[in-house]
Amino acid sequence: MIKFFVTFFWVLLLFQPSYAEKIKVFEFTEKELSELKVRKVRGADNKTLYTLGSNENGNFLKAVADNAASGLGKEIKINLKKTPILNITWKIEKDLSGIKEDTKKGHDFAARVFAIKKTGATPLSNRAINYVFSSNDDVGLNWPSPYTKKSIDKVLSTTKESLNQWVTVKVNVKEDFKKFHNLDVNELDGLAIMSDTDNSKKKSIAYYQNIFFSEN
């Protein structure tokens, strides 16, 4: 009888469904919003207005940037060996068409998500990849930030294809740090959201939802 139950137990374990690991970064709740680090960009006239909402897919963050620039940062350790894939669902209601995003005068994005790796004693020494929802450029294009070569802009979505539509994208952050910074990054140190229009002096409206890391 004991042998039967042991065998039965192992059969149950063998056929248990396996669940891929998922690390959610933002909950988009009132409590979380009050705790996130808000950083206004130096020289910006105004802060971006961030508010919360929800739909059938859960909570979301709405960002209205009217000649404004500020970001929401979260220090979080992400094991990129286990969960290298960043998943983002986002939407642009009002974009920033007509600007040159790879220049200082036009370096604004209605929506962007920074992946950050600490590589020194100060924030200025950090390396970052800036995943953007572009208003002007094609998906897949990338370039160094016009302000620092330690940050790379990479277009994951564009309003040339998807304006006022929810879009879900995936990107391998570990591979991108190797490709763009020649760094073997096993652990990420933080993620930040920013919608900014301080350079173009325009207004944008964007939404963020379901930002998490996964195995694939």
* pLDDT over 70 percentage in the chain: 90
Residue 136 lies in a domain: yes
How confident is the model over 28-50, as a mean pLDDT?
Answer: 91
pLDDT band at 122 (very low <50, low <70, confident <90, very high): confident
CA dihedral 65, 66, 68, 69 (to 10 degrees): 20
Dihedral sign for Cα atoms in the order 143, 148, 149, 153: negative
Residue 210 lies in a domain: yes
pLDDT of residue 45: 87
Domain that holds residue 179: 48-214
Residue 150 lies in a domain: yes
Residue 6 lies in a domain: no
How confident is the model over 104-126, as a mean pLDDT?
Answer: 90
Residue 41 lies in a domain: no
Cβ contacts of residue 36 below 8 Å, gap of 6+? 72, 73, 74
The CATH number linked to 133 is: 2.60.120.260
Cβ count near 190 (within 10 Å): 19
Residue 124 lies in a domain: yes
Average pLDDT, the chain: 90
Total structural domains in the chain?
A: 1
How confident is the model over 47-70, as a mean pLDDT?
Answer: 97
Residue 24 lies in a domain: no
